[in-house]
C-alpha cells in the first residue's frame, strides 16, 4: 500500500545547514524496505553533548530502554546515533535486547567510543526481534562513507516508515557573536498494521551547551511541540526525541539555564521543534485539515492543556472537522468531559476567530456563514475560553477522515 503525499505537506524539503562536527551516512539493509534507505548512522565529534525525551509508555521498546540508560551512564555525552526503520524491535523480549546490544557494540567499535556514547532508535513492525548481526554488518560497510556526507533529506527518508514525505527543519542564531546552526529531522505518524504510530526526531546543533542545560531546554521545548500534538491519542512504544550539540560553533559553553546568552538559541530550538511537530501532524493518517486548538482562561496551564487535548482528541470533534461542520456543541461537550474545572455559563467558544457562544448559550443572532467558510479551508482554528483563570495552552491536531480508517483497518485486505 503506497500512500499519496499528504495534501497538508510543505512544498518541498527545506535546505538545511550541515552541522560542523557531524558525519552522516544512510544505506538500505534489505530487512523490509526496498529501493530506499532504512538505516542512518551519525557520527559526532568529541565533546558532543546529548539530551533526550522519550515515550511514557510502560511497554516501551528495547532501544528506548537503552537510550535512557546511556544518557545516565554516559553523563550526556554522545559520539554516535543509529536509527533503523522497518522494525521497531518492540515487545521482543530478550532477543530484542540482544539485537540492541549487538548494534551498540558494533557502532561503538566502529566509531571508537564507549557504548554509552551511542544512541539508538527503531521504528516499524513490532513483535519481531531486530537482526543485530545484519545491522552490525551494514554499519561496518557504511563507516567509510561517513566523510562524504549524506543529505538531510536522505537522513529523514531513512528514518521514515509510512510517512508520505520526509520531514526536516532548521534555524540559525548566534551565541557570543558566533553563528549557531540547528538542523533536525522527524518521522511520524503514519501507521500500518502491525506497525505502530511512532514519532522519532533528531536535532543537531553546533552550539556548545552543557548536558543539563540542553536537557532542560529540550524538556521545555518538547512540552510546547511534540507533547502538544495529537493525531489519534495513541502513544507509541518507541517515541524518541534526541538533541545533540557538537560545540563546534566556538561559543563559550553555556552552563546555566538562566544565561541570557541562551535567549536566541532557546527561541531557535523551539521553532525547529515546533516546525517538526507540525509536520508530523500534517502527515497524520488521512489528514485533510490542520487544526489549532487554543484554550485560555483555565485554572492553570496544565488544566488548559488537558482541556485542549480533550477537544483535539475527541472523535466527534475530529469527524465534524472532516465534514467541514462548524459543530461547536461538540467542543462544549469535549470541554465538559475533560475532567478539568469549567463553568458552563462562563464558557466562550470561537471558530475561525468568530465567537459562536458565550455565557452558556449561542450568541444572539449568530450567523454561521463566515464560520462555515472557515471550515472549508485547510487551516482550522478553535478557541475556547474557560473564564476562570489565566491558564492557557495551544495544541495541534488533524481531522479524522475515511482515509484514517482505510490506512488502519483495510491494510491487509
Minimum distance, C-beta of residue 218 to a copy of itself, in the bound complex (Å): 22
Q: Is 90 in the site for a copy of itself (CB under 8 A)?
A: yes
In the block, cell 505502530 appears at 196
Q: In the stretch 214-253, what mask flags binding to a copy of itself with x, by CB under 8 A?
A: ------------------xxxxxx----------------
Tell me: does residue 123 bind a copy of itself (CB under 8 A): no
Which residues have a Cβ under 8 Å from the Cβ of 352 and sit 6 or more positions away?
370, 371, 373, 374, 375, 380, 381
Least distance (Å) from a copy of itself to the CB of residue 66? 14
Q: Does 69 bind a copy of itself (CB under 8 A)?
A: no
Residue 123 forms beta bridges with which residues?
Answer: 85
Assigned C-alpha cell, 312 = 483535539
Question: Which residues, 134 to 193, sit near a copy of itself by CB under 8 A?
Answer: 191, 193
3-class SS of residue 164:
coil
- Residues sharing a CB contact under 8 Å with residue 271, sequence separation 6 or more, in sequence order: 169, 171
Secondary structure letter of residue 79 according to DSSP: S
Enumerate the known binding-site residues for substrate.
161, 187, 198, 285, 408, 413
Query: Interface with a copy of itself includes 388 (CB under 8 A)?
Result: no
127, 353, 370, 377: which one binds a copy of itself (CB under 8 A): 127
Q: Which residue in 76, 96, 184, 391 binds a copy of itself (CB under 8 A)?
A: 96
Instruction: Measure CA 43 to chain center.
Output: 22
DSSP class of residue 345 equals: G
The answer to whether residues 76 and 211 touch, using CB atoms and an 8 Å cutoff, is yes
User: In the range 295-314, which residues lie near a copy of itself by CB under 8 A?
Assistant: 313-314
315, 353, 370, 377: residue in contact with a copy of itself (rule CB under 8 A)? 315
Q: How far is the CB of 335 from a copy of itself (least distance, A)?
A: 6
Q: Is 7 in the site for a copy of itself (CB under 8 A)?
A: no
Instruction: Give the span between the Cα atoms of 381 and 351, in whole angstroms.
Output: 6
Active site residues: 198
Q: Please tell me the count of residues contacting a copy of itself according to CB under 8 A.
A: 72
The backbone torsions φ and ψ at residue 360, rounded to the nearest 5 degrees and listed phi first, read 85, 10
Please report how close the Cβ of residue 105 comes to a copy of itself at its closest, in angstroms. Answer: 22
Amino acid at each position: 500500500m503506497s500512500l499519496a503525499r499528504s495534501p497538508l505537506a510543505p512544498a518541498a524539503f527545506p535546505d538545511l545547514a550541515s552541522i560542523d562536527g557531524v558525519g552522516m551516512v544512510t544505506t538500505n539493509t534489505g530487512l523490509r524496505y526496498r529501493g530506499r534507505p532504512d538505516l542512518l548512522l551519525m557520527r559526532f565529534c568529541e565533546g558532543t553533548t546529548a539530551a533526550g525525551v522519550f515515550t511514557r509508555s510502560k511497554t516501551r521498546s528495547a532501544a528506548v530502554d537503552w537510550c535512557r540508560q546511556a544518557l545516565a551512564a554516559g553523563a550526556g555525552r554522545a559520539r554516535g546515533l543509529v536509527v533503523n526503520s522497518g522494525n521497531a524491535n518492540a515487545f521482543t523480549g530478550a532477543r530484542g535486547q540482544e539485537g540492541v546490544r549487538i548494534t551498540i557494540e558494533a557502532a561503538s567499535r566502529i566509531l571508537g567510543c564507549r557504548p554509552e556514547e551511542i544512541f539508538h532508535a527503531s521504528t516499524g513492525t513490532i513483535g519481531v526481534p531486530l537482526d543485530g548481526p545484519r545491522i552490525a554488518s551494514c554499519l561496518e560497510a557504511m563507516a567509510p562513507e561517513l566523510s562524504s556526507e549524506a543529505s538531510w533529506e536522505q537522513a529523514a527518508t531513512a528514518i521514515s516508515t509510512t510517512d508520505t514525505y520526509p520531514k526536516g527543519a532548521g534555524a540559525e542564531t548566534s551565541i557570543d557573536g558566533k553563528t549557531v546552526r540547528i538542523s533536525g529531522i522527524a518521522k511520524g505518524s503514519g501507521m500500518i498494521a502491525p506497525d505502530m504510530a511512532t514519532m522519532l526526531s533528531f536535532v543537531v546543533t553546533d552550539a556548545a551547551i552543557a548536558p543539563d542545560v540542553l536537557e532542560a531546554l529540550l524538556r521545555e521545548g518538547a512540552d510546547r511541540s511534540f507533547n502538544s500534538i495529537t493525531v489519534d491519542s495513541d502513544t507509541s512504544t518507541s517515541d524518541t526525541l534526541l538533541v545533540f550539540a557538537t560545540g563546534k560553533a566556538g561559543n563559550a559553553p553555556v552552563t546555566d539555564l538562566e544565561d541570557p546568552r541562551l535567549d536566541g538559541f532557546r527561541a531557535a530550538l523551539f521553532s525547529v521543534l515546533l516546525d517538526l511537530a507540525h509536520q508530523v501532524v500534517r502527515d497524520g493518517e488521512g489528514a485533510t485539515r490542520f487544526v489549532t486548538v487554543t484554550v485560555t482562561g483555565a485554572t492553570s496551564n496544565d488544566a488548559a492543556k488537558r482541556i485542549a487535548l480533550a477537544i483535539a482528541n475527541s472523535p466527534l470533534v475530529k469527524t465534524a472537522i472532516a465534514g467541514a461542520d462548524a459543530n461547536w456543541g461538540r467542543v462544549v461537550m469535549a470541554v465538559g468531559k475533560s475532567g478539568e474545572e469549567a463553568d458552563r455559563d462562563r464558557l466562550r467558544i470561537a471558530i475561525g476567530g468568530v465567537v459562536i457562544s458565550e455565557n452558556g448559550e449561542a450568541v444572539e443572532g449568530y450567523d454561521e456563514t463566515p464560520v462555515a467558510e472557515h471550515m472549508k479551508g485547510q487551516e482550522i482554528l478553535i478557541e475556547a475560553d474557560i473564564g476562570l483563570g489565566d491558564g492557557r495552552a495551544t495544541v495541534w491536531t488533524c481531522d479524522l477522515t475515511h482515509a484514517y480508517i482505510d490506512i488502519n483497518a483495510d491494510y491487509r485486505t
